[in-house]
Structure 1
């Protein structure tokens, strides 16, 4: 490792004009190899109460992700519906209100 004007040869591009900007290598590696399931501290508790019957749902037990997803689509998540209503996969707010409005 030869030195060139205050820097090591393998540090190409870095000028000795102040501190080098930090490179968040560890967080980037963790994000790359960790799934959202392993990052959620309540995944086990949430999974017990998740009523979604959609097979292979990537948001199963991730309530925050589920709420954001359905809110963007102007829908409600499965946990708002009865078992029969949920199986219809109609998650619209209108359907929810219609089923609960007295006739």
Structure 2
């Protein structure tokens, strides 16, 4: 997974949800992509409005392996499942040329 493929996918995802890319979001997405590719742990902290959700979701989806995402609140879980992921799924399926699925595990 190249940095360029992650940047392109992130741009498509951000556009799909009607947002705008942020420098911190791009840097975080690239760091997550590197951690997934190199199979190492990563701890990231970022402020409100950085675009963290897409910064970790997009590289995970581009990577193409199963990923478990734990949220601190049900509100964030609901936002991801009901709003963000359906839009990102549609955009990235087109961008990546393959199907993407997601589910809630309780």
TM-score range for the pair, normalised by the shorter chain length: under 0.3
More helix by share: 2
Q: TM-score, normalising length from structure 1?
A: 0.26
Larger RCO, structure (CA 8 Å, separation 6 or more):
2
Bigger radius of gyration: 1
